[in-house]
Structures are given as C-alpha cells and as structure tokens.
Structure 1
C-alpha cells in the first residue's frame, strides 16, 4: 500500500513545496475558471505571452526565463515543471487560491491520464463542506475523503477539525503527491494521503466521509474525469454504497457530484431514493447548480441528455 506522510520526501515534491511557499510569500492569488473559460480567455490576442506570476501559474501561458526571479526558477527546475514551448517555456503545473490556501494541480489543458483537477466544482464542494461543518455539533474523530484529487476537501475538513484523523484517499499517485504538498503548505499535521480504491485499502468506520467524484463520460477514461456507467454516475453510486457500509453510528456522507438529466429525470436520485426506501437513514438531496458543462451536450454520449446538474447528497446514519 502506498502511503504518504505529511512531509514530501522526494526532491521533486520538496521543490514543489518550496515553489508554493515562494508564490505565497509574493502574494500570489488566482481563481481557476472552467476549462472552457480558460481556453477562451487564453485565445485572446493579448494573452499570448505571460506577463506576471498569475499568467505563468494560473493562466498557464508561455513565458520567457527573464520574467521570473532566480528562487522561483530554481524551484521550478528542482520540481521538473519547466516545459519547453518553442523559444519560450510553460509551467507543467498550476496553483489556485481557495480561502487562505494555495493548491497545486495539473497544468492546462488537463489531458494527462493522471491529471490532478481543480476548478469551479472544487469551490462548490468546499463551500458545501464548510456549511456542514459550521453546523455539525457531533464529534468527528475520523474523516475520509474518497478520490481526494488536489486534497482541497480533505484539507478543508482537517483545518476545521484539527483533532480529527483525516485520510485523503485516491488511486492516482500524482493526486496523493500533490495532496501531501498542499497539506504541508497549509501547515497541517492531522492529514495522511493514502492509496485506496474507495475504502477498500483502509480499515474501520468513519464519522464523516466526503467525496467529489468525477461524473462525466470521458472517451479517454481519464481518472479525474470519467465517472463510468451510462451517464457518468457509476462512481457516485459506488461511493454511496461504500458509505452505507462504513459510516459509524451518527456518521455522515457528504457527496458532491454531477448528474445527467434525461427527460426531466435524475437517475442518481432515483437510485439513491430506491436504496433508502423504508430504511433508518436521514438524508437530503438537492441541486446546487442546474446547468454545468453544457458544451458536453454536443457529444454523442450525451445525445439524450437535457442538461448536466451539480447535486449534493447528505446521508446520516442514525444512532
């Protein structure tokens, strides 16, 4: 089993941590938009070349070596994130702001099979978590983030519950490495990044399980994007089933996902409602955003889909 501690150990990850520290010291701040918005903004005539740190590490534009100071260049070389781009260079990674933290994630476009995604869904997911934690009065001693990606959800909960044990779980080694860097940059000491397929590789029950799984149909089946099943909901349902088996009494699952709406019907909701009928579980299900990733409706896999919506499930095991 791969397990990552709180301190990066390989030279690349130590350099990534140093890079993040340098950017934070320089007041770097960037809010990451959708991939389509990113593409459209970078296509503008005045966006061909980076002019500052936001252009390099946020918009991911080509830059000349003279633009960056030597400490940042040294960290980039050590982290192996300098990518040739003709006579110029690009960063292989991006850094995004969320609350007071910086998060390392994949460069644009996110085409690699092991890309670590961060975007508007991440902001919505963390907002959902913060709202829940602000009102939750029951003790939370053990937390699992299934499919942690950049670690934003796990880090949010670890900061809010510093006495809890937080496990950031993923099958992508790059996600675990990036989560470890991001957690260390946030100054956390109660979070561990571990390899696990759902919860199969970790033991015990959890007081809180959180997840923001991929929910799209991706022809390339990239880990961060492909949800599986007919319309991308298979992984969300697998997490739901897993949580029902592994939540401690009084424990809660917070699932943020996306659903394809076909003829006004939400198949994920229907499946969950059927499973929970005549059971002792408390649950709430709501649409957070009724229409996201509309450009995907042009693809044949979504030929019968009316819209893609973002939804949230809160499921609690009665004591």
Structure 2
C-alpha cells in the first residue's frame, strides 16, 4: 500500500476497471442516510474496515491487507486512497442502484466538490421512472439537472436507448463520476456536460428531471444547500428554468424536500404562485412525510414540525407553443 505515494494522476480508467471488478465479484451496497451511517459505524467492531463493503460502502478506515490485492491496486492507480498514520481511507464510495454500480464521494461528504448519492437518489429515480411509464409518448430529448453521480440519468437511459440524454452539473467531480458511471452501465448515449441549470445547453426538452440540493444548510455545502432561508432557491430555479424549456407535451419531475410548519408547505406555496395561471398542468405530492429529523434541532428548522419529501410534476400541453 505504501506505493500509493508514487501512483500516477487520477485515472478514470482505473475507476472504471474498479467498477467492473466489483460488479464481477457481485459487490452490492445500499447507501443510507448520514444519520444511519454514523450510527452503524459507531457500533462496537465497526471502527475499522475488514471487507470491501466496509471500505467502499461504509467508508471505514482500514489497514494494509484488508482488501483483495486487485482492488487495492486499482484504488492506488486511481489515486483515491488517503493515509493517516497506520490507517488508510478510501476517498470514494461505490453504491448499488437498479442493477448498476455508482462511484461517488466517501462519507462524510465534507469536501466542497462532494458528489451526493443516497436514499433520495433512489426516490428520484423511482419518481422519474414512474412518470416515464405513465407518459403517452416517448421523450426523445431528456435532461437531468444536477446529475451528481448520474444515477437518475443512467436509469432513464437504460429505458430510453434511442433518446438523447443530457446529464448536466456545475461540479467537475460530479461530471467525472457521471461519465465513469455511465460507461460502467453501458449507457454510452448519455452526454455529460457542464451547465448551470440549462444555461449552457440549447433547445427544449421532452423530459426534465432534477433532484437539486434542498436543505437549509448553515455550512453552505454545495451538495446539500438549496439556498435561501428554507433551502428552496435552487429547486425553484429548476422549476423556473423548466417552465421555459419544456417542449410541447414535455414534462418536469422535480424531487425536493420542504419544512412543514403548522401544516403549511412553503415550497408548495411558492410553486403554486409560479404555476397558477400559466396553463401548465401540475401535481404536487408528498412521498415521505418525515425525514432527516436530526435537522429539526438546527436554527433554520427551529419552527418546522417536520421535513417532508415531495415530487412536483409539471406538464406542457401537446399543442402549447
């Protein structure tokens, strides 16, 4: 393991080979919420990693010899190991979804360029796929705004092999991981591009999906902070963008969170203010009424009774425009 200090620069090819090796070995890992992750790792016996899942799933520090030599070598080649004394840490995690593996940031995702993956990734993909199945027509041009690991774009691309799929993000690390993950899944028709919302890509879209950051985060972590006092600035910016970029018959699936106070949902109120009177059809539903309760102790949620997850779907009429 000491050869890590002589390793070449980060190589996407090494991460792709790592993903292929893990897939061939039958590796699987379901990424949990940060609160669950912390609790499980605090249990007796979990301070150090002894298996591939411990290291690449649970982000536990490990000692030389804990990993199979081929996996350790690929991590070295990719320059994704960090040494602290006698222990080593992986700078990435690898998680499962929809039969594929996805490279993303290690826990805790504290770096400014951390790439999010977790239960909300699964929920967003489920919402997008349910909407896709209910659509009367095939969306030929699709955008995943804030793609992160690319997991939602990959799930859609697997069902839309003839469609143009754009996965956009402003985070260079997210773009790198999304390209690697798209290649691992064999979804070569995904185009991963840098774009602030859709500012840097032209044209209209038949389907726009997004799971932007939506928490009110005093630390302003990019993967988590939605902006504004309630964390809604970015989700609403996605909504505003989609309203102007949906093709006739096009639709938006926006997954977000919201703090509920005395039965009032400020995200729903803000969305309704934007959408009422536009002629667009839209629905809004809670998909989980109570999540991330540890954040209720934070000043930003001091008056909230609960934090809920919701899906907003917006559709432009087929003959609109």
- TM-score, with length taken from structure 1: 0.95
Question: Is 2:98 the partner of 1:112?
Answer: no
Secondary structure, counterpart of 1:163 in structure 2: coil
Secondary structure, counterpart of 1:18 in structure 2: helix
Q: Which residue of 1 aligns with 2:275?
A: 276
- Which runs of structure 2 are paired with 1:57-136 in the superposition (5 Å)? 57-136=56-135
Q: Which residue of 1 aligns with 2:233?
A: 234
Structure 1 residues 195-204 or 258-267, which shifts more? 258-267
Whole-Å Cα distance in 1 between the matches of residues 173 and 299 of structure 2? 31
Secondary structure, counterpart of 1:45 in structure 2: coil
Deviations 1:22-50 (A, max 9, x none): 11111101111100110010011111121
Whole-Å Cα distance in 1 between the matches of residues 118 and 138 of structure 2? 30
Whether contact under 8 Å (1:287, 1:312) holds in the other structure is yes
Whole-Å Cα distance in 1 between the matches of residues 76 and 140 of structure 2? 40
Whole-Å Cα distance in 1 between the matches of residues 222 and 10 of structure 2? 25
- Aligned residue pairs total 310
Q: Which residue of 2 aligns with 1:31?
A: 30
Whether contact under 8 Å (1:62, 1:85) holds in the other structure is no
Q: Which residue of 2 aligns with 1:6?
A: none
Whole-Å Cα distance in 1 between the matches of residues 115 and 212 of structure 2? 12
CA shift for structure 1 position 11: 5.1
Q: Which residue of 2 aligns with 1:248?
A: 247
Q: Unmatched 5+ residue regions in structure 1?
A: 1-9
Whole-Å Cα distance in 2 between the matches of residues 136 and 110 of structure 1? 36
Whole-Å Cα distance in 1 between the matches of residues 192 and 167 of structure 2? 5
Q: Which residue of 2 aligns with 1:148?
A: 147
Secondary structure, counterpart of 2:11 in structure 1: helix
Whether contact under 8 Å (1:126, 1:153) holds in the other structure is yes
CA shift for structure 1 position 90: 1.4
Whole-Å Cα distance in 2 between the matches of residues 288 and 115 of structure 1? 26
Question: Is 2:292 the partner of 1:312?
Answer: no
- TM-score, with length taken from structure 2: 0.94
Whole-Å Cα distance in 2 between the matches of residues 118 and 193 of structure 1? 17
Whole-Å Cα distance in 1 between the matches of residues 229 and 47 of structure 2? 39
